[in-house]
Amino acid sequence: MTHTLHTLLRWVDRLSDATAALAVGLMGVMILATVYEIIARHVFNAPTIWSNDVSTMLNGSLFLLAAAHTLRRDGHVRIDIFWQALPPALRHAVQAVFFLAVFAPVLGFGTYYAVTKAWRAWERGTLETASAWEPLIWPFLTGLALGLVGLLLQTLAEGVRSVLRLAGRDRDPAQSPPHLQPQS
């Protein structure tokens, strides 16, 4: 059971790495779009109608696509001076309760809404009408939805890891030296 659970946790971690890699790629696209706009505006005196929209959509998408990886690496903001003063068991208990009982349910509702909205936008070919360019909105909404799905899965994984640490069963057999791995 524990081996299967650790395999699943590693799969979620790899998914977080993949969404972060996608965010890095989108950042490159955002940089290229911005450089293009700067050259078009200042060199050719021909600003684009789409650059601001593309940058805004890419920035929002990459922010959420990288959120799961940030959680995995324990990079989100907290007040460490208080956190480090807590005994490890209490930290694990607080994290388990927060991730599994508070954050995951709220994030689950938001993720469901985002996935539903992205799917509807894709089905209907919805345009962003607040923009003069009026681009299709589903690529942006899909990026947000994928980021939220990844963050939800990573939140659940981190909550489970906290529970395993509390139970003293946090050692991943795949990460142990071969002579210490359990026999199948």
pLDDT for 13-41, tens place per residue?
A: 999 999 999 999 999 999 999 999 999 99
User: pLDDT tens-digit profile of 108-129?
Assistant: 999 999 999 999 999 999 999 9
pLDDT digits (tens, 9 = 90+) for 142-172: 999 999 999 999 999 999 999 999 998 777 6
Q: Which residue has the tokens 């209490």?
A: 90
Beta bridge partners of 127: 136
- b/e burial code for range 120-151 (CB count within 10 A of at least 16 → b): ebeeeeeebeeeeeeeebbbbbbbbbbbbbbb
Comparing 181 with 135, which gets the higher pLDDT?
Answer: 135
pLDDT of residue 82: 87
Q: Do 68 and 19 contact (CB within 8 A), yes or no?
A: yes
Q: Are 140 and 57 in contact (CB under 8 A)?
A: yes
